Structure 1
Amino acid sequence: MKAYRLLLILFVAGLLTCSVLPVRAQCAMCTTSVESNAQNGNTTTKGLNNGIMYLLGAPYLAVAVLAYIWYKKYRRKNIDLNMRDEKFNLN
């Protein structure tokens, strides 16, 4: 059953990887403006790309910080496990 599940996950991941379509994230007006500025030698396109990468990374950074705070706040310390002193047979 585990092999079937792994095969299914790999198959779906392969389909998602193979079916990548190019997308345009900018509106037509912004794209035209940026392309014309780039052809005229203006360097605003580099700043625009940096801004897009900043906006892309900000939510991931926020989630990572919240996960770290949650981990530090709610992890248990000094838990008595009440384990027996017998040796375990792992066969």
Structure 2
Amino acid sequence: MYTKNKISNFQTLNSKLKKLVFGICLFLVGISANAQCAMCRAALAGDSNVKKAEAVNDGIVFLMIIPYLLVAIIGYLIYRMYQSKKKKAE
């Protein structure tokens, strides 16, 4: 009985350690991504780069649309699948 308690405590500690390491890694990745955005902003700042800045903004919008569109399509397909299963069950 004592060994089961020790194993349970070890598994809990192991789980907490994994969560902590994952959180630290996620934090560090976010810092580097933020630095890249600041570099792009500094490179495009100024009046002489207006067309270049507009092109970069348009590119960002197009890049953002694709993941949302894919998630919406997959969500719709899953919804249709559940609806067809529900009709077959009736």
TM-score, with structure 1 as normaliser? 0.48
Per the normalisation by structure 2, the TM-score is 0.48
User: If each structure's helix is expressed as a fraction of its own residues, which one has the higher value?
Assistant: 2
Query: Which of 1 and 2 has greater Rg?
Result: 1
